[in-house]
Structure 1
Amino acid sequence: MSKKTDYILEQMIKAYLNEQNPIGSMLLQDSLNVPASTIRVYFKQLDSDGYISKLHASGGRIPTQKAMKYYWHQFFNYTFNTELEINSSLELLKVASENDLFCLVVDNNKVFLNEVLNIDNRFIILDFSQKQVLINFNDELNVLFNQIKGYEINDIKTILYRLNLLNILDEIENAFKNKIKFICGEKIFASIVKLSSFSSIMNAKLLDYFTSSLIYDELFLPEYMGVKIDCNFKQNKSTLVLAGSIFTDYENVLNQLREAI
């Protein structure tokens, strides 16, 4: 895509997110100071490439899912680089509700396995930075946890999953459920997620689906998306997850959160 075509698409999407109506060449002509005839040439190319579509013969264009995925990839990976400060749960709830979004805030502070204690060959106490986890003793587990002493909890969870020690993994995850600092919009999440059960949102498992800052069809139904953003929530390092329509104006959502400081 040429820089000019990319620019026309970007401005068309911004106009669509603002208007929530099909965008015509005349509307962009006024805002971009570019002749409508020139814009229509770019529209034709974007239509051919699958980035925009025309609902009616005489109507304007709307961005496709392909266009929105491209737009949000550019925005969150190259444009958005400001550290987000969130100091009010009420304001976060208000912004999420107004924009029909699922919202989750998870404590992002690092947690390490500090000590492994053998209690009379009956129990093993896993002493983490913030709390302890008690599991039944066996020699193999005792050796394993002593080998990974000092590891960060997410690395430990990955090891347990790969070794199929799912019962131990569940015990550790249940012990750290309080890493969730804020959650709202669970009904929205249930209506847009592919999974038949969404119990995983009640702990930090949801973050495991994010191999990058954005996620689409891997987890959500068509036309929906999720975004993961590092932030400071009430002055604590945290991860914010927002999920909703791919046509939601997430840039405006983030601006609303900034203004709520």
Structure 2
Amino acid sequence: MNARQEKLFKNIIIEHLLSAKAVGSKFLVDKYSMDVSPATIRNDMAELERQGLISRPHTSAGRVPTQKGYEYYVRNYLQAKAVASRDKELLDMLSHEIRTKEPEIVVKNIAKKIAELSNSATIVAFSKNDLFYTGLANLFSQPEFSNFDVVCNISDVIDHLDDVIGSIFDDIEDTQIKIGQNNCFSDKCSSIITRSGDKLFGIFGPMRMDYEKNLALVNYARGLIA
């Protein structure tokens, strides 16, 4: 992949994360003032598609990232960033409530806030057999989950979430990002899960998630709920 294709690939990722739509060559040339023709960009897109990093939905001339593409993005471009200052302020306010509320209630409130901030679902496993999850409305509001079969698949996973978390509870040590078929929830999802003391905390949502923001939220939560 040459430098122009690298930049093109990152722009496709960024635009798809924002819009959930297939990204076209003319749009990219116009928005990013690329000093090449749409035809050149289409050729570069064809090369990225040949490498398995993007694909073309049958209903569109644009391209979307594949699972392999998201994995490449996370592996090569994702940077660990600090949580946004406003998000930090909101989460710190909740964590200070531990002085007046039961710790488990505070942790659940933090999970609810992170579900809201990430527009995804969040999970807290206090133990293998003590699980809390929230944000399912966020999950099902995503365009990726408008298909009935996908909704049924995700619903089945949620029905068996205790078993799913129980199967990975002892294996999670550091923060892990799992994408598509490599995560334990659904091949339509991505997850970011970490251990905080004797608890697990994580976000799961569509593969089209804001990995930088969500990684920052998960890592910050790890310190708050320990």
TM (normalized to structure 2)? 0.59
State the 1:201 CA deviation. Answer: 6.7
State the 1:46 CA deviation. Answer: 0.5
1:16 and 1:62 in contact (8 A); partners too? yes
How is 1:1-261 mapped onto 2 (pairs within 5 angstroms)?
Answer: 1-34=1-34, 35=36, 36-56=38-58, 59-76=61-78, 79-82=79-82, 85=88, 86-87=91-92, 88=94, 90=109, 92-97=111-116, 101-105=120-124, 183-185=133-135, 191=154, 197-200=160-163, 206=169, 208=171, 213-216=176-179, 217-218=181-182, 219-228=184-193, 240-253=201-214
CA distance in 2, matches of 1:57, 1:239: 40
For 1:49, the aligned partner's letter is Q
Give SS of 2:69's match.
helix
State the 1:65 CA deviation. Answer: 1.8
More strand by share: 1
State the 1:252 CA deviation. Answer: 4.8
State the 1:82 CA deviation. Answer: 2.6
- Asked which structure has the greater CA Rg, the reply is 1
Residues 132-159 of structure 1 deviation map (CA, whole Å, 9 limit, x = unaligned): xxxxxxxxxxxxxxxxxxxxxxxxxxxx
In the comparison of the two structures, how many residue pairs are matched? Answer: 183
State the 1:184 CA deviation. Answer: 2.0
Deviation larger for 6-15 or 83-92: 83-92
* Higher RCO (Cα < 8 Å, 6 or more apart): 1
1:105 and 1:239 in contact (8 A); partners too? yes
2:111 and 2:134 in contact (8 A); partners too? no
State the 1:28 CA deviation. Answer: 1.0
More helix by share: 2
Q: Share of identical aligned residues, percent?
A: 20
CA distance in 2, matches of 1:196, 1:74: 35
Query: Please, which runs of 5 or more residues in structure 1 have no aligned partner?
Result: 108-172
Q: Provide closer, same or farther for how the CA distance between residues 49 and 205 of structure 1 changes in structure 2, counting only shifts above 3 A.
A: closer
Give SS of 1:208's match.
coil
State the 1:13 CA deviation. Answer: 0.9
TM (normalized to structure 1)? 0.53
State the 1:251 CA deviation. Answer: 3.5
CA distance in 1, matches of 2:165, 2:187: 23
